[in-house]
Structure 1
């Protein structure tokens, strides 16, 4: 059945000309019906085409499609892959982080691509102008719906789909690898029997011979990696000798590089005939690689692939693997979920991996099955070989997984309170009956009916009641006299900023302390370091000296090793000098930390005031840019990153006001090119600029007398929200939160007190900008 016959107007949107047997069987349900569809099928059997068919139907009907990709690395890949839709004048837009979101483009897109986490965040804010596009979706395609069973991420996907269905009722098309209980997923999504497909192994384009191989576990984990590598090469060698390709999955980006280096030596030692050093044309092509190590490696037929490589290098490795120039490829698990790169032999060298936030964890069973599914090249091989290399003690566990597959379970119970708080904060749940109605829309409820004992289903109502009482006791929710339920400001902020409940409570404690004792940058960093999001971070032995060196002379007695590591990474990031030993985890920790600091700013703004929020905003800017404390305000200027901020600060220009005063000529003198200087000057002018005028402020006052004076705060730059605070001898007198357009008059009472002199300080802070507060002081003598 040719694509051009079935969908003539979309024939160019597909990467092939004919549908295969599996795709043909699903066609009527996808194109001739509006019912929800659930299809499970073996890896590499062509599920992506089912997603594209559902999208084509929605586009043909004038609707908007949403594609939920399992991880962020794959969203950009889909954007590239679906240039084919762009060529047909349909727009594809990947919805990314908060600051990079373009709501107009999202609103006008025909195909949206999002991760479950991004969709969760967007649907929580669906009633805002920024995210209203999320309620205008006609079909939602869930790629890899078996992620419902993923630790922590699974519950996010589950509640988000339930919420989306309540918000706009889109058609749902859910795709997954082979799973034993596809019927439960169909029941959850209300997919009728004729639209539920369970394509078995007979639909695999190439038969799979999968098994488990063990290795002798030693005392040294570093040496164990090499034992597993040699085991993997033993399994790959026969195929490599027959011109077959092998794909070896390892646990980290760094390991792909190290394993490829070692494998090249071992291949030479074993005299396996591989490589293309005599191929002049390929030798020339390889010069296009940006990574030097990779360039040397591919000529020996060995390569590595991970998300940290440039797009150019990843694309070339994929192309050369498909063409056979690369015969042995080492990769992280991302490749298994994304690019269709099958190999005759697949080996999973590492079943455990180091997660920067979780420490050492077992690879998920879903990942294992997904990777093994890449074994066998359609059109080239009659059979694919897949192997799991593991310790003898775990061999039976993996044999059972390969034999029986993995039933998909709900993970909602593990984070029920967090998701329940989010629904209450959105206003979709207002009493206990609403809670039960909401639960009935979840996969958890369906799975509980299938396995009532495992899910403690008979006691469900009591569990929900206990969960609600816990939210009330901790201050996230309050109940009315009529037993109504409503979120408190704490509960609303927790949901809005996507926080775990313990972290939100931790932030609220800091706000209480800040109100009475004040706040320092160190308090912000320590609060973030001890957030629950980092509770599984561990400090390896080889990292401890570096951590101690960063934190030398600082009081961190109550912090555990993992918390000290996070604190050291944040302090290193803020100063622009993260030790080499900590860099492998630093990027992930920094990304999470900046999100958390941004949330903490909102807590401080709401519960303490603009000055406290501004302090946190400056800490966030330092973590992001690695600039000195006195120069952090420069990062508020568009086009000024860490390099330019440091260059300007070295020349004595440390604030946007200094930049405006210097003018373009002064910036050129400071080392900027004229074009850059003009842009930076314009950027500095687009920020608020404050002048403080004391007016008729006295120099002295008699004991017992008082006088009300006025201080004028004038903004000669762009309008912005500001906090104006007046202190006397360090004690706050007044504080106002205002939108400062031009002029604000602040009344200041001057009282003849017991002190010999009074120091009045007016301070203006901007909670949403990393600008250092503008301060001015006057001393009044008491006679």
Structure 2
């Protein structure tokens, strides 16, 4: 069946008037959705799942309803937003909502398609569950992420909320890897569409003892093992993606590839921003090789991904997190490690992760075939690798059973009005995957314990079995933070304001992922705790102390690479912790509005400084668009110490400063003028 036979004529604008034949699974899923059935689609990567979503979104739009597209990661949200912008050609208004949990969800009224992370979708329902009445379709991409301990519970809560509050909303779940799809379908009252079809056929095999073994047949590779497979791929115009189990291994592997390959990239021609990479990294890129992991800065990762997509990076050594993030396919994928060090032990990587990595093999439109290989270092690992390629994947399981999540969700249910008594709470949980996979009656004690905690700490009140959120409880729920985080921040407000001390308590909250410490860190961490009269030397407190020290360096404008080198961490780690501390410091500012208004201004400034990584004196300057911590400081140090001074500057005076072009100088002066007028209006 052609695309034009199943869609309105104008839909072809989305495909540049390319009227191709639909795959069977695409046609089946679209027709089931048009029959008002929820659908879960499980097909391999790059086999057209997104088109099913496009068609269904347009169907929903023509009915006058809105669609939400939920993804697990911010990077995926930005990628999906770029893709879905093509729907604007059909008149749809598309937006993305991934960050500020405190923005009222009423903005959805102004758009037809909202791309959101599961956390953002959940936070919107915390504030106003009635927004579900606007939606006719919700697409859940990577639905197998329900099994993820950190993100899964939020996603399951969102889906459960829709099933409980508005079962008329059509649900479309998408995944390449779901072994217990029928159990998920039972939970979601959905039909299934299952296919093993791949747009680009995939060859899988195992590299073991200098041989490649595919379907029982051996091919001798020689001493270089997988390097010969990489050479074979590159010589025919392909690229190679190598997965390593740690940042260090990814970096070492990329460096080793410099000895085998040199594509002689001219860094000036590539127009890579100056000082973005150090000398060793720049040398790798010049050879057409690089690594990718979360320790790199956001700008570094973005540039590496761009260079890989454009074909300048031919070999990319990455950690498994890349497979769950942005879409970077390659002709050849080699999984070099199948174990990972976790909780003090070396453990096999999950089958779902392995399939996600192998699924990156084969570039649609470029490759006639993809190659996905697993490296086995021993006979035991060979058998493990065989299991990955032939065995069944782990089932998707609910992660909603922890006491902290139950406490968090019950406060949200009461605050939003979804549940007012114990029966309402039990009814909601009866709609979860947790209830499908377990006896929900077994959680009665956990529910009662959470209610006791929330009542005892002034988050909710109880009268005749009916629960209501207090102002404190409602604010905590709206801020989308753990009630324990809210208690720690509330107690922090009783202390005299000190940047370092408040950063310590921000870092001590359960919503903050802290830095690990080493034996060599003890001296300065203990000195920090002594300086602030903190007598808690537990592991949790020591981690919070190290994190607070690093955050203090960040807001003191110490260069990010200097911080990274001094503490043995990556620039991306600093940005990730600052992003987390940004929201918690904002929550602290909001709580001050309720409990200590005298600290509001100081805490607002602290929040801005954590967000931007700046000192107090350039807070106003960085309000100018295109000005961040580095440009703001350069302007200040060159005598432009206020928005007013910048607005009145000459273009040539700004353009003289390092890093400022004539065009940038002109834009900054214009924007400063607009900002200045707003101040004095």
| TM-score, normalised with respect to structure 2 | 0.79
Equivalent residue, structure 1, for 2:3: 3
Say which SS state the counterpart of residue 197 (structure 1) adopts.
strand
2:395 to 407, 432, 451: 407
Distance, in Å, in 1 between the alignment partners of 2:209 and 2:425 is 48
Which aligned pairs between 1:260-299 and structure 2 lie closer than 5 A?
260-265=254-259, 267=260, 276=263, 287-290=270-273, 297=284
2:499 to 521, 539, 558: 521
Summarize the Cα distance change of 1:681–1:203 in structure 2 as closer, same or farther, 3 Å threshold: closer
In structure 2, list runs of 5 or more residues that go unmatched: 211-222, 656-664
Equivalent residue, structure 2, for 1:506: 488
- Structure 1 residue 251: deviation in Å? 5.5
- Structure 1 residue 330: deviation in Å? 2.6
Residue 315, structure 1, aligned to residue 306, structure 2: yes
Say which SS state the counterpart of residue 140 (structure 1) adopts.
strand
Distance, in Å, in 1 between the alignment partners of 2:27 and 2:434 is 32
- Does the CA contact (< 8 Å) of 1:135 and 1:167 recur in 2? no
CA deviations on 1:254-285 (whole Å, 9 max, x unpaired) are 865553232121x25xxxxxx655xxxx8799
Residue 488, structure 1, aligned to residue 470, structure 2: yes
CA deviations on 1:148-183 (whole Å, 9 max, x unpaired) are 101121000011122244555421111112322111
Give the stretch that moved more between structures: 398-407 or 112-121.
398-407
Summarize the Cα distance change of 1:540–1:365 in structure 2 as closer, same or farther, 3 Å threshold: farther
Which aligned pairs between 1:298-309 and structure 2 lie closer than 5 A?
300-304=287-291, 308-309=299-300
CA deviations on 1:196-244 (whole Å, 9 max, x unpaired) are 2232x466752453558699xxxxxxxxxxxxx9876476466557776
Distance, in Å, in 2 between the alignment partners of 1:552 and 1:636 is 35
CA deviations on 1:369-404 (whole Å, 9 max, x unpaired) are 211222356685567333166798887776655512
Summarize the Cα distance change of 1:179–1:636 in structure 2 as closer, same or farther, 3 Å threshold: closer
Give the stretch that moved more between structures: 244-253 or 39-48.
244-253
Equivalent residue, structure 2, for 1:331: 318
- Structure 1 residue 144: deviation in Å? 0.9
- Structure 1 residue 107: deviation in Å? 3.2
Residue 206, structure 1, aligned to residue 187, structure 2: no
Count of aligned residue pairs for this structure pair? 632
2:564 to 554, 557, 580: 580
Distance, in Å, in 2 between the alignment partners of 1:369 and 1:520 is 49
In structure 1, list runs of 5 or more residues that go unmatched: 216-228, 269-274, 688-716, 719-783
Summarize the Cα distance change of 1:41–1:565 in structure 2 as closer, same or farther, 3 Å threshold: same
- Structure 1 residue 120: deviation in Å? 1.2
Say which SS state the counterpart of residue 18 (structure 1) adopts.
coil
1:73 to 72, 75, 79: 75
Give the stretch that moved more between structures: 578-587 or 174-183.
578-587
- Structure 1 residue 669: deviation in Å? 14
Summarize the Cα distance change of 1:382–1:616 in structure 2 as closer, same or farther, 3 Å threshold: closer
Equivalent residue, structure 1, for 2:220: none
Residue 147, structure 1, aligned to residue 145, structure 2: yes
- Structure 1 residue 53: deviation in Å? 2.6
Higher relative contact order (CA 8 A, sep 6+): 2
Distance, in Å, in 2 between the alignment partners of 1:301 and 1:92 is 36
- Structure 1 residue 189: deviation in Å? 1.4
2:58 to 56, 59, 73: 56
- Structure 1 residue 145: deviation in Å? 0.6
CA deviations on 1:432-490 (whole Å, 9 max, x unpaired) are 11011111121111222xxx5xxxx452334323332233234332211x111122333
Equivalent residue, structure 2, for 1:28: 31
Residue 172, structure 1, aligned to residue 171, structure 2: yes
Distance, in Å, in 2 between the alignment partners of 1:45 and 1:572 is 46
- Structure 1 residue 589: deviation in Å? 0.7
- Does the CA contact (< 8 Å) of 1:22 and 1:203 recur in 2? no
- Does the CA contact (< 8 Å) of 1:158 and 1:442 recur in 2? yes
Say which SS state the counterpart of residue 44 (structure 2) adopts.
coil
Give the stretch that moved more between structures: 87-96 or 565-574.
87-96
Distance, in Å, in 1 between the alignment partners of 2:104 and 2:474 is 24
Equivalent residue, structure 2, for 1:91: 93
- Structure 1 residue 350: deviation in Å? 6.9
Give the stretch that moved more between structures: 572-581 or 676-685.
676-685
- Structure 1 residue 502: deviation in Å? 2.2
Distance, in Å, in 2 between the alignment partners of 1:616 and 1:108 is 32
- Does the CA contact (< 8 Å) of 1:365 and 1:406 recur in 2? yes
- Does the CA contact (< 8 Å) of 1:351 and 1:389 recur in 2? no
Distance, in Å, in 1 between the alignment partners of 2:287 and 2:618 is 48
Which aligned pairs between 1:748-759 and structure 2 lie closer than 5 A?
none
- Does the CA contact (< 8 Å) of 1:142 and 1:172 recur in 2? yes
Distance, in Å, in 2 between the alignment partners of 1:633 and 1:533 is 26
1:460 to 437, 443, 446: 443
- Does the CA contact (< 8 Å) of 1:260 and 1:304 recur in 2? yes
Distance, in Å, in 1 between the alignment partners of 2:326 and 2:374 is 20
Which aligned pairs between 1:648-727 and structure 2 lie closer than 5 A?
680=672, 683=675, 686=678
Say which SS state the counterpart of residue 587 (structure 1) adopts.
helix
- Does the CA contact (< 8 Å) of 1:627 and 1:642 recur in 2? yes
Distance, in Å, in 2 between the alignment partners of 1:363 and 1:496 is 36
- Does the CA contact (< 8 Å) of 2:142 and 2:173 recur in 1? yes
CA deviations on 1:318-367 (whole Å, 9 max, x unpaired) are 142xxxx7553333433554426142343254754899xx9999866533
Distance, in Å, in 2 between the alignment partners of 1:295 and 1:18 is 44
Distance, in Å, in 2 between the alignment partners of 1:613 and 1:214 is 64
1:530 to 495, 505, 508: 508
Distance, in Å, in 1 between the alignment partners of 2:342 and 2:417 is 39
- Does the CA contact (< 8 Å) of 2:163 and 2:188 recur in 1? no
- Structure 1 residue 297: deviation in Å? 4.7
Distance, in Å, in 1 between the alignment partners of 2:50 and 2:334 is 21
Say which SS state the counterpart of residue 80 (structure 2) adopts.
helix
RMSD across aligned C-alpha pairs, in angstroms? 4.4
Richer in strand (by share):
1
Distance, in Å, in 1 between the alignment partners of 2:236 and 2:666 is 61
Which aligned pairs between 1:463-478 and structure 2 lie closer than 5 A?
463-478=446-461
